[in-house]
Amino acid sequence: MEKSAFFRICFAALIVVFAAVPVQAQQTTISINTPEIVEGSTVYATVNIDNVENLDAGQFDLIFNPDVLKIIGVENGSIGETKIPVQWRSVDSKTVRVIFNLEGVTGVSGSGQLASIGFEVIGDGKGEFLISDGLLGDTEANSIDTDWGITEASGIDADLKDAEAEDTQKTVPGFEVVLTLTGLTMAIYLARSKQR
Amino acid sequence: MNSTKTKDLVGTFVSLLLLTLLALPAIASGFENESYTANLSDSANSSDSTAASNIMLSILGNANEDRTIDMKDVEYTESIILGSGSQTQFTDATGDNSVNMLDVTKIELINLGKAKELTLVDRIGRQVNVTLPVKNIIPTDYRTTETLLALGTGDLIVGVDRAFHERMSEFGLLDLPEVAMHGQSIDYEMVLTLEPDIVLLPLSQTENADEIARNFPNTAVVVMGLSSKNSIGSDLTTMSFVLGKEKEANELISWMQGYEHLVNERTKDLKSDEKPAFYYEYMSGSEEKWWVITPDDPSAGQVAEGTGGHNIATGLAGTSVEVDPEWVIKRNPDFMFADLMKGFDSGPGKTEKDMENLLTEVLSDRAGFEKVNAVKNSKVYLVDRDIIGGPRWVIGHIYFAKCMHPELFEDINPEKIHKEYLKKFHNLEVSGTWAYPLPE
């Protein structure tokens, strides 16, 4: 009986954990697919998006090293079959601002690419990209909670940003609630098992 | 035993499912707390409001400051975000003090009629959120009520002011409760009972608007100049957009502009010495005091402007100024217009004979006036406020012009235009006399 109860508890705990994982995965994330930088070549930095729901519009600045890269254009992205029509403008020599607005207000959900930014590699050196001032909006004109990851440059040191991101993972209150409830369930179940 | 085990297993699954479902919002809120809010540079101060004579839609989202919200506003806002356009007063459609792509979506929602709420900027610059669609509305001033009726929104009105029943009974709504008097003395309890989406205040309540609004936390309290020549165009445009009556408003505005244009065209080439001096008296016959309406008055004073005459009160400080009879006699105006504001002695049901008697009364006890050109040459006219305020201001405008320049307006009959207005915008045929005498 005790062995059986132990098995059930473990099984229950596993289900709770797995049930929580997909929720965490629903967080919209942005990442940049950084190409290999070879002087004299043309490269494309792809801005990827994952797990977005009802996306209607958005914007971001992409910052790059102007000694190494020179922007040549920004191409539309897509999520599934839906095109992400972009407009862009160079804010200064090292920053390009990209905006997009889907047709109508029906929105799109899923994962894909927001834009592909083409660069000419004009020099030797570090060709890293940073995203700044990013914003995604849904079909009700509300901001979409987005994890801009380490690509976000907002004056905070990159290492510090990494540390903050780790802290965030550790302090998600939803997990505390799940674990507490799981513990309570286990205690109740054990008590009931002993009564039998 | 097997049965017990099965029950235990099912119970465990159900419990876990419930727990998981309960935990989901908590998990989600955890991520919300970590939300990233982008904030593009707060743009500089919004532009100053445009001149009152320019018709403009005062709703957040009207980025290009024209008369509607459409895809041009989307394009304009995008140009601002990309850095090639200048921020305007109404660009920030979401009202979050930041111009970004959320504003673009909000503008599209408004344009497509899918917005659940919008923010208008009322006549005195207050930002007021209005939940859509608007189901009922209370105008607290009778001239505002008339304007709303001209838009065909009678079915939305759930309360009126007492003056509307007393002075404009020809427009109906007789069974509606009275909740104010000429924009004042608001019956808060009654308004709360009626649960209006919007309470409209006239410009005279400018200083009390915020205090009144505090009494109606679930209602949009809006100050609008729907009875004044200077503001009726823009405020009609704004209110009609909120109420979904743009087509009707455009028709009404075009009607007003058509006659205004006509007067302008026919008087614009008059030389200074061809413009007679006129005296426009405020509240004629109502009390022993003498008041003159100046061109600074946004309603009556402005209606009389641009009609081919020269107001002798030009330059006086204020909108209506108390003067001595001697002041008038000394200036010897060629024309005199007596403002009949009370609304009981002229207008619906009154005959020309009634008005003739009223004119005699108005001119009585005015020692020394017999020397004034206007009286000497029988150029004294009575003008009911009904054709000065609200959409009918343009009828008064034509009347002034025709009185002073009958030769330029031989083919124009203000009385017929008045009938046209009542029929076209209210489907009414009302007999009465709103101005006397009618110039030949």
- Report yes or no on A36 lying in a domain: yes
- Considering the domain architecture, whether residues A179 and A136 belong to the same structural domain is answered as no
- Report yes or no on B131 lying in a domain: no
- Considering the domain architecture, whether residues B265 and B378 belong to the same structural domain is answered as yes
- Considering the domain architecture, whether residues B233 and B286 belong to the same structural domain is answered as no
- Considering the domain architecture, whether residues A11 and A46 belong to the same structural domain is answered as no
Query: Across residues A86-113, what is the average pLDDT?
Result: 94
- Considering the domain architecture, whether residues A6 and A94 belong to the same structural domain is answered as no
- Report yes or no on A14 lying in a domain: yes
- Considering the domain architecture, whether residues B276 and B223 belong to the same structural domain is answered as no
| CATH number, domain with residue B375 | 3.40.50.1980
- Considering the domain architecture, whether residues B281 and B417 belong to the same structural domain is answered as yes
**Facing A177 at nearest CB: one of B26, B83, B101:** B26
pLDDT for the residue B69: 95
- Considering the domain architecture, whether residues A14 and A66 belong to the same structural domain is answered as no
- Report yes or no on A9 lying in a domain: yes
- Considering the domain architecture, whether residues A108 and A88 belong to the same structural domain is answered as yes
pLDDT for the residue A13: 59
pLDDT reading at B94 higher than 70: yes
Query: Given B244, B273, B288, which residue is the final one in a domain?
Result: B244
Euclidean distance between CA atoms B52 and B71, whole angstroms: 25
Q: For residue A151, give the amino acid letter.
A: T
Q: If we measure between CA atoms, which residue out of B190, B188, B197 comes closest to residue B176?
A: B190
- Report yes or no on A39 lying in a domain: yes
- Considering the domain architecture, whether residues A116 and A178 belong to the same structural domain is answered as no
Residue B169's contacts (CB-CB under 8 Å, 6 or more residues apart) are B348
- Report yes or no on B143 lying in a domain: yes
Instruction: Return the bridge partners of A120, or none.
Output: A42, A70
CB contact under 8 A, A88 and B82: yes
Backbone angles phi, psi at A128, to 5 degrees: -80, 160
- Considering the domain architecture, whether residues A12 and A72 belong to the same structural domain is answered as no
pLDDT for the residue B379: 94
Give rounded-to-5 percent helix, strand, coil for chain B: 45, 15, 40
- Report yes or no on B99 lying in a domain: yes
CB contact under 8 A, B38 and A152: no
Residue B374's contacts (CB-CB under 8 Å, 6 or more residues apart) are B278, B279, B333, B334, B335, B336, B380
Q: If we measure between CA atoms, which residue out of B265, B253, B333, B266 comes closest to residue B293?
A: B333
Range of the domain at B410: 252-436
**Facing A24 at nearest CB: one of B15, B22, B27:** B27
B-contacting residues in A 112-141 (Cβ below 8 Å): 133-135, 137-141
Confidence of residue B367 (pLDDT cuts 50, 70, 90): confident
Backbone angles phi, psi at A169, to 5 degrees: -60, -40
Q: Does A106 touch chain B (CB under 8 A)?
A: no
Q: How far is A196 from chain B (nearest CA, A)?
A: 10
Euclidean distance between CA atoms B204 and B294, whole angstroms: 18
Residues B373 and B329 sit within 8 Å (Cβ to Cβ): no
pLDDT reading at B81 higher than 90: yes
- Considering the domain architecture, whether residues B275 and B237 belong to the same structural domain is answered as no
Q: Which residue in B2, B108, B111 has the most chain A C-beta atoms within 10 A of its own C-beta, making it the best mutation to test that interface?
A: B108
pLDDT reading at A18 higher than 70: no
Q: Higher pLDDT residue, B413 or B85?
A: B413
CB contact under 8 A, A57 and B104: yes
Query: Given B198, B216, B244, which residue is the final one in a domain?
Result: B244
| CATH number, domain with residue B94 | 1.10.1330.10
- Considering the domain architecture, whether residues B238 and B257 belong to the same structural domain is answered as no
Q: B158 to each of A84, A146, B132, B139, B235, how far by Cα in Å?
A: 47, 45, 17, 9, 20
- Report yes or no on B8 lying in a domain: no
Query: Across residues B7-17, what is the average pLDDT?
Result: 54
Q: Which residue in A146, A151, A192 has the most chain B C-beta atoms within 10 A of its own C-beta, making it the best mutation to test that interface?
A: A146
- Considering the domain architecture, whether residues A90 and A181 belong to the same structural domain is answered as no
Residues B117 and B131 sit within 8 Å (Cβ to Cβ): yes
- Considering the domain architecture, whether residues B305 and B336 belong to the same structural domain is answered as yes
Q: Higher pLDDT residue, B23 or B218?
A: B218
pLDDT digits (tens, 9 = 90+) for B406-434: 999 999 999 999 999 999 999 999 999 99
pLDDT for the residue B132: 95
Euclidean distance between CA atoms A106 and A139, whole angstroms: 6
Nearest residue of A to residue B71 by CA position?
Answer: A104
- Report yes or no on A48 lying in a domain: yes
Could you tell me the two tokens for A82?
């839906």
The CB density around residue B300, as the number of other CB atoms within 10 Å, is: 26
- Report yes or no on A123 lying in a domain: yes
pLDDT for the residue A164: 35
- Considering the domain architecture, whether residues B298 and B425 belong to the same structural domain is answered as yes
Q: Higher pLDDT residue, A38 or B374?
A: B374
Residues B352 and B297 sit within 8 Å (Cβ to Cβ): no
- Considering the domain architecture, whether residues A96 and A178 belong to the same structural domain is answered as no
Instruction: Return the bridge partners of A77, or none.
Output: A84
CB contact under 8 A, A178 and B19: yes
**Among the listed ranges A20-24, B102-106, B125-129, B216-220, which one has the minimum average pLDDT value?**
A20-24
- Report yes or no on B269 lying in a domain: yes
pLDDT for the residue B358: 86
- Considering the domain architecture, whether residues B169 and B236 belong to the same structural domain is answered as yes
- Considering the domain architecture, whether residues B405 and B261 belong to the same structural domain is answered as yes
- Report yes or no on A156 lying in a domain: no
Number of domains in chain B: 3
Q: Does A194 touch chain B (CB under 8 A)?
A: no
Query: Given B83, B115, B147, which residue is the final one in a domain?
Result: B115
- Report yes or no on B130 lying in a domain: no
pLDDT for the residue B202: 93
Euclidean distance between CA atoms B273 and B310, whole angstroms: 10
- Report yes or no on A165 lying in a domain: no
Q: How far is B278 from chain A (nearest CA, A)?
A: 56
- Report yes or no on B45 lying in a domain: yes
Nearest residue of A to residue B93 by CA position?
Answer: A141
Q: Does A22 touch chain B (CB under 8 A)?
A: no
Q: Which residues of B touch A89 (CB under 8 A)?
A: 82-84
- Report yes or no on B410 lying in a domain: yes
- Considering the domain architecture, whether residues B234 and B258 belong to the same structural domain is answered as no
How big is the A-B interface in CB pairs under 8 Å?
149
- Considering the domain architecture, whether residues A72 and A115 belong to the same structural domain is answered as yes
Q: Which residue in A28, A92, A101 has the most chain B C-beta atoms within 10 A of its own C-beta, making it the best mutation to test that interface?
A: A101
Q: Does B16 touch chain A (CB under 8 A)?
A: yes
- Residues B137-158 as b/e (b if ≥16 CB within 10 A, e otherwise) read bbbbbbbbbbbbbbbbbeebbb
Q: If we measure between CA atoms, which residue out of A116, A27, A114, A40 comes closest to residue A78?
A: A114
**Facing B102 at nearest CB: one of A143, A147, A173:** A143
pLDDT for the residue A154: 32
Q: Higher pLDDT residue, A36 or B2?
A: A36
Q: If we measure between CA atoms, which residue out of B364, B362, B277, B383 comes closest to residue B327?
A: B277
pLDDT for the residue B141: 93
Average pLDDT, chain B: 86
pLDDT reading at A25 higher than 60: no
- Considering the domain architecture, whether residues B199 and B257 belong to the same structural domain is answered as no
Number of domains in chain A: 2
- Considering the domain architecture, whether residues A34 and A98 belong to the same structural domain is answered as yes
Q: Which residue in B32, B36, B39 has the most chain A C-beta atoms within 10 A of its own C-beta, making it the best mutation to test that interface?
A: B36
Average pLDDT, chain A: 75
Looking at residue A102, the DSSP 8-state letter turns out to be -
Range of the domain at A84: 28-144
| CATH number, domain with residue A90 | 2.60.40.680
**Facing A12 at nearest CB: one of B16, B22, B38:** B16
pLDDT reading at A32 higher than 50: yes
**Facing A168 at nearest CB: one of B26, B34, B104:** B34
Q: Which residues of B touch A60 (CB under 8 A)?
A: 38
Confidence of residue B183 (pLDDT cuts 50, 70, 90): confident
pLDDT reading at B41 higher than 80: no
Confidence of residue B15 (pLDDT cuts 50, 70, 90): low
Confidence of residue B45 (pLDDT cuts 50, 70, 90): very low
Q: Does B22 touch chain A (CB under 8 A)?
A: yes
pLDDT reading at B29 higher than 70: no
Q: Higher pLDDT residue, A143 or B362?
A: A143
pLDDT for the residue A126: 77
- Considering the domain architecture, whether residues A14 and A53 belong to the same structural domain is answered as no
